């Protein structure tokens, strides 16, 4: 445990996916503020490199398409080559494809499940292989998976997205069981944000207009505001929850779904 403050993450090394912008970028920033070094990964090379440059020696960028297993092998190897260890993998990258069941193509459904579901399977697989005893990092660690409030509560117009995030929720609990029972020293938890106005959050508001659920973007935002007891959240609300789960303060927490949604699922 950290000698100073168990809520800090001093000395730890993290790999964060989808970290060029949005919740992932804020997570990288808060992990670094807490004393960690971060491998920022994304498909967006220019944005990711520019973000990593802001943090100097505490960060580095690596292009990782989370749906590609070879990229996972290369990225976990890069974390160790660059920083000498790996303690935390945040499976944050994601995509939101809206549509009613009656209208959505099976190709879009499969794409949604691949980018949000298969990606997390691959992330868990390679995090375990790297961090478990005998792995190239080998000292155990933490996996945090981004699910959603929509992985708990069904949302009209987001059927495929809900299915993908529900998969992440239970994959997390299965992995937590497996890691504990096989004595890997790896904790696995999921985080469930409510609506955050990142690029994805704004797309969701616009999709609800396109689907005819609300007349315009202002009405969409008002409806979501009303549905969240504390109003809409900010990326930092999620990033600090992730940092907590990564810290030694959470050392007795595994298999948990951490709902950070301003009361959306409680309303």
Ligand X SMILES: NC(=O)c1ccc[n+]([C@@H]2O[C@H](COP(=O)([O-])OP(=O)(O)OC[C@H]3O[C@@H](n4cnc5c(N)ncnc54)[C@H](O)[C@@H]3O)[C@@H](O)[C@H]2O)c1
Binding site for ligand X (CB under 6 A): 17-18, 20-24, 42-44, 64-67, 92-95, 115, 146, 148, 193, 195-196, 198-201
Decide if 161 is catalytic.
yes
Please, what is the minimum distance in Å from the beta carbon of residue 63 to ligand X? 8
Q: Could you say which of 109, 161, 244, 264 is catalytic?
A: 161
95 versus 250: smaller Cβ distance to ligand X: 95
Please, what is the minimum distance in Å from the beta carbon of residue 132 to ligand X? 24
Please, what is the minimum distance in Å from the beta carbon of residue 70 to ligand X? 13
115 versus 186: smaller Cβ distance to ligand X: 115
Which residue reads 């797309």 in tokens? Answer: 203
Give yes or no for a contact between 1 and 7, defined as CB atoms under 8 angstroms apart.
Answer: no
48 versus 141: smaller Cβ distance to ligand X: 48
Half-sphere exposure of 254 (CA within 13 A, CB side): 19
Half-sphere exposure of 47 (CA within 13 A, CB side): 11
65 versus 248: smaller Cβ distance to ligand X: 65
Please, what is the minimum distance in Å from the beta carbon of residue 74 to ligand X? 13
Helical pair 22-33 and 235-246, crossing angle rounded to 10 deg: 50
What is the DSSP secondary-structure string of 16-32? Answer: ETTTTSHHHHHHHHHHH
d(CA 59, CA 13): 10
d(CA 63, CA 67): 12
Q: Which residues are catalytic?
A: 161
């Amino acid at each position: 445990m950290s000698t100073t403050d168990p809520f800090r993450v001093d000395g730890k090394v993290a790999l964060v996916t989808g970290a060029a912008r949005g919740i992932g970028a804020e997570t990288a920033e808060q992990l670094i503020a807490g004393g960690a070094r971060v491998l920022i990964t994304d498909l967006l090379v220019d944005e990711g490199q520019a973000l990593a440059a802001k943090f100097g020696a505490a960060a580095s960028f690596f292009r990782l398409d989370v749906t590609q297993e070879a990229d996972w092998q290369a990225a976990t190897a890069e974390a160790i080559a660059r920083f000498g260890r790996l303690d935390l993998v945040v499976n944050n990258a994601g995509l939101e494809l809206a549509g009613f069941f009656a209208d959505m193509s099976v190709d879009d459904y499969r794409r949604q499940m691949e980018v949000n579901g298969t990606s997390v399977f691959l992330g868990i697989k390679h995090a375990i292989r790297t961090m478990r005893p005998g792995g190239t990092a080998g000292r155990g660690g933490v996996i945090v998976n981004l699910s959603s409030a929509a992985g708990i509560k069904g949302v009209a117009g987001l059927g495929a997205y809900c299915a993908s995030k529900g998969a992440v929720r239970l994959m997390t609990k299965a992995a937590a069981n497996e890691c504990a029972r096989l004595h890997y020293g790896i904790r696995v938890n999921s985080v469930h944000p409510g609506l955050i106005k990142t690029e994805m959050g704004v797309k969701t508001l616009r999709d609800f207009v396109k689907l005819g659920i609300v007349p315009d973007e202002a009405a969409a935002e008002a409806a979501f505001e009303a549905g969240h007891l504390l109003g809409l959240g900010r990326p930092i609300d999620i990033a600090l929850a992730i940092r907590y789960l990564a810290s030694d303060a959470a050392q007795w927490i595994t298999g948990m779904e951490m709902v950070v949604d301003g009361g959306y699922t409680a309303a």
